[in-house]
Amino acid sequence: MAITLSSGFKMPIIGLGVWRMQRADIRDLIINSIKLGYRHFDCAADYKNEFEVGQALSEAIDTGLVKREELFITTKLWNTDHGHVLEACKNSLKKLQLDYLDLYLVHFPVATKHTGIGVNGSPMDEDGVLDIDTTISLETTWRAMEDLVSKGLVRSIGISNYDVFLTRDCLAYAKVKPAVNQIETHPYFQRESLVKFCHKHGICVTAHTPLGGAEANKQRFGSVSCLDDPILQGIADKYDRSVAQIVLRWGIERNTAVIPKTSKFERLKENFQVLEFELDKEDMDLIKTVDRKYRTNQVSAKSWGIDLYA
């Protein structure tokens, strides 16, 4: 099951996100997920595990487990490299052991002080606030992203964590339309206006936090998880599925790609099984009622000293 992007390439509607994956676990997780049927892997320079992902992908390809053309590999430009897009992309390609990327995203709509290619962090100023570089516009960054397509390094380019206004601006100056906007969206943060806007303009939406961050965001940010919601639990009982499966299926049925993260084999298998059933319209409508407009990923507000979404 795949979504055809505006670039003409197909992206599997479910993938595996590698954020927070421990380096020692990556090889087995990637190999096992490919055996289960996963072909879409979502990476980022900032996750600091591209090298390990690349080793696993190389092994899978070299042993004949999967062909390169069957895979859809995404990675992202980090905030510190907006002025060094070509070098950053080539560095990610080298670590991932790939000749091209299927999708390259601007990770956040903010440029920060450059700290060196491959040195991904969040530089802070003397006041403990994210050190934003005001000399690099998002349009300048996008022009450099477009050059990657013309050079054959990247098949599709896109954006991440852009709201309606920034997405509109990108469409206004883009010569190559963003194929994807990867955002936080889940039943507690449905963002219907942004999703509809993107779909109207031919931009695929990928949910980078399709389960609301679950335990990881609970522990890191003190967030409330939609997986504990009684309405969602009731729907899960009806279908004899887990709440996580219901939430992922909801995301797929609203035509958004989902990239859940897990380090457990049984969860890998369970997540992929969402392709095996459908939700009734009445249950899709019921899930609409649990929207709290509640962002669970609080990295901006709680780690950078400035709320980029305020």
The two structure tokens encoding residue 135: 């000399």
107 is in an annotated binding site: yes
Backbone angles phi, psi at 20, to 5 degrees: 70, 5
β-strand partners of 257: 206
Nearest to 242 by CA among 250, 251, 233: 233
DSSP states of 237-260: HHHT--HHHHHHHHHHHTT-EE--
Q: What CA–CA distance (Å, rounded) separates 121 from 107?
A: 13
User: How many angstroms separate the Cα of 18 from the Cα of each of 59, 105, 253, 286?
Assistant: 17, 15, 23, 31
Asked if residues 7 and 156 have their Cβ atoms less than 8 Å apart, the reply is yes
Of 47, 104, 162, 188, which is the active-site residue?
47
Q: What CA–CA distance (Å, rounded) separates 170 from 201?
A: 11
- H or E element, residue 89: helix 85-96
309 given a catalytic annotation: no
- Binding site per annotation, positions: 107
- Binding site per annotation, positions for substrate: 107
Which residues are catalytically annotated? 47
